[in-house]
Amino acid sequence: MIEWQVARQWIVPALTEEDTETDVAIRLLEGTAQLWLGEASAMVTEVIREPRTLHVWLAGGDLAEVVSFTPGIAAWGRMMGCKSATIDGRKGWLRALKPYGFHRDGELLRKAL
């Protein structure tokens, strides 16, 4: 997958100890995760079934470009039947995503779709 070869430079540094590059690649190939690729960044999302939620699993690269994905990814999540979007990331994400309707919900950032 050519897209993954480009995206991995931004996604691999965002991996936690619980996840590996192989985990990401398998889930992308299985279709249980989605890759969003920009010119200088990438994001990986997943749809959680109950309650139907679009979750941003991993992101990296140019912050402004990552944030610019928000409207399109939210629209895609609504088309997939998601009622909300969540992000589990560093605290600085709230400052960048608050203008898009995200708010702190425990450890997550959440936005109604």
> Minimum mean pLDDT among 33-37, 58-62, 69-73, 92-96: which range?
92-96
Neighbours of 108 (CB within 10 A): 17
Q: How far apart are CA 13 and CA 29, in angstroms?
A: 20
- Given this model, what pLDDT does residue 112 score? 96
Q: What is the average pLDDT value for the chain, to the nearest integer? A: 93
pLDDT digits (tens, 9 = 90+) for 52-68: 999 999 999 999 999 99
pLDDT digits (tens, 9 = 90+) for 70-88: 999 999 999 999 999 999 8
- Given this model, what pLDDT does residue 4 score? 87
Domain boundaries, the chain: 2-112
Exposure string of 6-36, with b = 16+ CB inside 10 Å and e = fewer, is ebbebbeebbeeeeeeeebbebbeeeebbbb
CATH classification number, 2-112, choose in 3.40.50.720, 3.40.640.10, 1.10.10.10, 3.40.630.30: 3.40.630.30
- Given this model, what pLDDT does residue 90 score? 77
